[in-house]
A = this chain, B = another copy of it.
Amino acid sequence: MGELTSFFRPDSLAVIGATRAQSKIGNAIIRNIIGCGYQGKIYPINPKEKEIEGLMSYPSVGAVPGDVEMAVLSVPAARVLTVARECGEKGVRALAVITAGFKEIGKKGLDLEKELLETCGRYGMQMLGPNCVGLMDTHTPINASFAATFPIKGDIAFLSQSGAILLAILDWSSAVGLGFSKVVSLGNKANLSEIDFIKDAANDPYTRVILCYIEDIVDGAHFLEVADWASKKKPIIVLKSGVSQAGAQAASSHTGALAGSDLAYDTAFAQCGIIRARNMTELFDLAVAFSKSVIPTGNRVAIVTNSGGPGIIATDNVELKGLAMARFDKKTIEDMRANLPEEAGIYNPVDVLGDAGVERFEFALEKVLTDPNVDSLLVLLCPTAVTQPVEVSQALIKARDAHPSKPVFAAYTGGKCLAGGADLLSSAGIPCFTFPEPAIECIRGLYNYSRHRSAVEVKDNGALPDLDKKTVKAVFYDVIKDRRLTLMGSEAAEVASAYGIPAAPIVLTTTPEEAVAAAGNLGYPVVLKVASPKILHKTDVGGVRIGIQTPEEVKQVFIEIMESVHRYLPKVIIYGIEVQKMMPKGTELIIGMTKDVQFGPLIAFGLGGIYVNLLKDVAFRLAGGLTSEKQIEEMLTETKAYTLLRGYRGEAPRDIAAVVDVIGRAARLVMDFPEINEMDINPLFAYKKGLSALDVKITIS
């Protein structure tokens, strides 16, 4: 979409639908623009007025004497198209359409929205909205919105898909003293979306943190690409709502059933380094943390406290959140032993005791921050008779300034007694909470982000050998010609084999004699399975028989299966019987693929077999994020299956390298062939050496 400077730093700006009536949105906008101190030219547009809020009013945008870079539209929906055309003719670059009555009201509105988008396209205009509150930039400054509050200047860019939440947060943030660089109401996202504004904010020198409230993402692939790039420059914290079961998809495959509605977002966000807030409190706690704090280089937290209880609570939380309590250097401990009272806690947490004056804090803070085994610091203060909160805060600020590379947080548990000290910290840029737990949650967020940012760019596997695209194409061609969407086992095995996935040999036969011949070629024992794309649960209709040892048995079982299936499902078309070589039993795994409507194919890996949905031991990744062995290995380690593969309770280890290879091939297969809709390889037997895919299910679309 290119630069958004025409929105955030326009030289001139028209408010179309400006009015003198104080109760109207068109008046609020013009007052906001004037009131925020905007330095460009302002043109109110209203054919019925000569002057609005002290500015000369024009009958139309076309009547404005000079250039108009940006236009804010607050006219009835029925007039928006006409006005947009006038703006186009005038050479306006950016439209902020406040007007509602588009996609959100149904079909008629959607049609209007499409026409509006088309008009913008024709004139090369960018558009925010429609149906939005507008946008703000505190550094320009510009306030092209009807919000009642203009935020304090700050370094957080806030993008919101909900206008109500945006207004609520503006009101709330002014009360608590939280500042913003930019605030954008995304509205219906007909043209510009969170993608464009994330990109813009990532490049904005005044923005340190990007905060988003979103309800949906339209172009998943593009979002991932931009977010991945932007999150390496600045932290992106997202509250994504709409996670409840209501939105869960119905799915016929194992993999599909295992992937909940929210899983794709979780996976995608994790993969592109987005920090996902679980609730609004966390969203803003993290915003403060990221805007004020440096990023830690490790997960080792030191705690300095003047009382035992909060120290214990904080220690619990550090471990609960996957961080580590720092183990101090020997020198640090010796120094503390020599300088702190005998009863003081000199290991982590450092307890300087309830009777500590500021000197003890000064000493302990400096020691702890100097220790090379400490990555971040949390100071806990409770009011006691001798507590000097302001002095302790001053000491903490001094220590932080002396060690600017280590994040410093505080939890001052108290009210009036500690308020002066807490205020001092906040104004010095040290996040100060009432209770320890949110502080630790923030340190965790910072640490997780640091891991993402420092992750070495992994190299692509490059061209996997032996990928036979032609065969896959041919199979799909035949299936579609046969007016099916589900592959038969032998077809799926052929597809898998073509990509180097070791499917157990399987042959479709149509007569007992063919079956005997096939079995002879494969070698005994064999398995016979009914071949019919319409039969999902073959075992239930007597359609699978294992352990067949002789040609006679093959003949007899062929006939028995046919009879049994006909009895259960007299109307189903049977393509024949598939004869498969019976493979020795191995560790049962699943590799699967389900498709997310936004983010595309998701690869699943875990414990397989018939209990796969019961055990739910499955890790997910976007297929696009599995192009290196390192990425795949990381995925493996999230599963219990991995513990088994490494050799559990004295068992011999399984061929993990082969598993990694096959996951990479499965990911490549589904990316190379977007027509693959779902895939289950279950069970995939893992042996000491090699693998065997017993059952491959593929549906295409």
Chain A residues with CB under 8 Å of chain B are 23, 25, 28, 105, 146, 148-149, 160-165, 167-169, 171-176, 213, 215, 239, 241-246, 279-281, 306-310, 312-313, 315-320, 343, 354, 382-385, 413-419, 434-438, 537, 539-540, 610-611, 614-615, 640, 643-644, 648-650
Of A239, A316, A436, A437, most B-chain CB atoms within 10 Å:
A316
Tell me whether A384 and B414 are in contact in the complex, defined as CB-CB below 8 angstroms, given that A315-B246, A317-B279, A648-B614 are known contacts.
no
Residues in B neighbouring A414, C-beta threshold 8 A:
167-168, 171-172
Q: Which residue of B lies closest to A610 (CB)?
A: B649
**Which 3 A-B pairs have CB atoms at the shortest separation, nearest pair first?**
A162-B309, A164-B307, A175-B415
Inter-subunit contact A309/B215 (CB<8 Å):
yes
Residues in B neighbouring A174, C-beta threshold 8 A:
415-416
Given contacts A161-B309, A215-B312, A279-B435, 10 further A-B contacts (CB under 8 A): A162-B307, A164-B310, A168-B307, A168-B310, A171-B416, A175-B419, A244-B316, A279-B317, A610-B649, A615-B615
Partner of A437, one of B242, B280, B415: B280
Q: How far is A528 from B326 in the complex, measured between Cα atoms in Å?
A: 51
Partner of A310, one of B165, B172, B313, B320: B165
Of A28, A309, A614, most B-chain CB atoms within 10 Å:
A309
Q: How far is A327 from B117 in the complex, measured between Cα atoms in Å?
A: 38
Inter-subunit contact A171/B415 (CB<8 Å):
yes
Residues in B neighbouring A315, C-beta threshold 8 A:
244, 246
Residues in B neighbouring A173, C-beta threshold 8 A:
415
Q: How far is A213 from B436 in the complex, measured between Cα atoms in Å?
A: 15
Of A313, A385, A649, most B-chain CB atoms within 10 Å:
A313
Inter-subunit contact A309/B385 (CB<8 Å):
no
Residues in B neighbouring A312, C-beta threshold 8 A:
162, 215, 241-242
Tell me whether A241 and B309 are in contact in the complex, defined as CB-CB below 8 angstroms, given that A280-B436, A435-B279, A643-B614 are known contacts.
yes
Q: How far is A643 from B610 in the complex, measured between Cα atoms in Å?
A: 13
Partner of A148, one of B148, B383, B537: B383
Q: Which residue of B lies closest to A213 (CB)?
A: B309
Inter-subunit contact A246/B319 (CB<8 Å):
yes
Q: How far is A312 from B540 in the complex, measured between Cα atoms in Å?
A: 42
Partner of A540, one of B242, B419, B650: B650
Q: How far is A200 from B306 in the complex, measured between Cα atoms in Å?
A: 31
Inter-subunit contact B317/A614 (CB<8 Å):
no
Tell me whether A438 and B650 are in contact in the complex, defined as CB-CB below 8 angstroms, given that A241-B316, A242-B312, A413-B168 are known contacts.
no
Q: How far is A161 from B312 in the complex, measured between Cα atoms in Å?
A: 12
A130: min CB distance to chain B, Å? 16
Partner of A164, one of B105, B306, B343: B306
Residues in B neighbouring A650, C-beta threshold 8 A:
537, 539-540
Inter-subunit contact A382/B167 (CB<8 Å):
yes
Q: How far is A312 from B167 in the complex, measured between Cα atoms in Å?
A: 16
Residues in B neighbouring A279, C-beta threshold 8 A:
313, 317, 435, 437
Tell me whether A644 and B437 are in contact in the complex, defined as CB-CB below 8 angstroms, given that A164-B308, A246-B319, A319-B246 are known contacts.
no
A1: min CB distance to chain B, Å? 24
Inter-subunit contact A245/B319 (CB<8 Å):
yes
Of A168, A312, A416, A437, most B-chain CB atoms within 10 Å:
A168
Tell me whether A611 and B648 are in contact in the complex, defined as CB-CB below 8 angstroms, given that A171-B415, A306-B164 are known contacts.
yes
Inter-subunit contact B415/A162 (CB<8 Å):
no
Q: How far is A161 from B310 in the complex, measured between Cα atoms in Å?
A: 11
A299: min CB distance to chain B, Å? 15
Q: Which residue of B lies closest to A435 (CB)?
A: B280
Q: Which residue of B lies closest to A386 (CB)?
A: B23
Q: Which residue of B lies closest to A307 (CB)?
A: B164
A544: min CB distance to chain B, Å? 13
Inter-subunit contact A242/B316 (CB<8 Å):
yes
Inter-subunit contact B246/A418 (CB<8 Å):
no
Partner of A384, one of B164, B244, B246, B644: B164
Q: How far is A378 from B169 in the complex, measured between Cα atoms in Å?
A: 19
A344: min CB distance to chain B, Å? 13
Q: Which residue of B lies closest to A166 (CB)?
A: B309
Q: Which residue of B lies closest to A262 (CB)?
A: B316
Q: Which residue of B lies closest to A315 (CB)?
A: B244
Inter-subunit contact A438/B307 (CB<8 Å):
no
Q: Which residue of B lies closest to A414 (CB)?
A: B171
A-B contact pairs, 25 of them (CB 8 A): A28-B385, A148-B383, A148-B417, A160-B309, A162-B312, A164-B310, A164-B354, A164-B382, A167-B414, A168-B382, A169-B413, A171-B383, A175-B416, A215-B309, A241-B313, A242-B316, A244-B315, A244-B318, A279-B317, A279-B435, A280-B413, A280-B435, A281-B434, A540-B650, A610-B649
Residues in B neighbouring A434, C-beta threshold 8 A:
172, 280-281
Q: How far is A121 from B176 in the complex, measured between Cα atoms in Å?
A: 54
A31: min CB distance to chain B, Å? 13
Residues in B neighbouring A105, C-beta threshold 8 A:
343
Inter-subunit contact A167/B383 (CB<8 Å):
yes
Q: How far is A227 from B527 in the complex, measured between Cα atoms in Å?
A: 61
Q: Which residue of B lies closest to A281 (CB)?
A: B435
Residues in B neighbouring A149, C-beta threshold 8 A:
415
Residues in B neighbouring A413, C-beta threshold 8 A:
165, 168-169, 172, 280
Q: Which residue of B lies closest to A247 (CB)?
A: B316
Inter-subunit contact B644/A614 (CB<8 Å):
yes
Q: How far is A306 from B643 in the complex, measured between Cα atoms in Å?
A: 50
Q: How far is A171 from B249 in the complex, measured between Cα atoms in Å?
A: 50
A100: min CB distance to chain B, Å? 10
A67: min CB distance to chain B, Å? 32
Residues in B neighbouring A611, C-beta threshold 8 A:
644, 648
A288: min CB distance to chain B, Å? 14
Residues in B neighbouring A438, C-beta threshold 8 A:
281
Residues in B neighbouring A172, C-beta threshold 8 A:
413-415, 434
Q: How far is A537 from B650 in the complex, measured between Cα atoms in Å?
A: 10
Q: How far is A279 from B281 in the complex, measured between Cα atoms in Å?
A: 14
Q: Which residue of B lies closest to A351 (CB)?
A: B164
Tell me whether A382 and B175 are in contact in the complex, defined as CB-CB below 8 angstroms, given that A105-B343, A241-B309 are known contacts.
no
Q: How far is A366 from B645 in the complex, measured between Cα atoms in Å?
A: 60
Q: How far is A169 from B418 in the complex, measured between Cα atoms in Å?
A: 12
Q: How far is A648 from B243 in the complex, measured between Cα atoms in Å?
A: 28
Q: Which residue of B lies closest to A650 (CB)?
A: B540
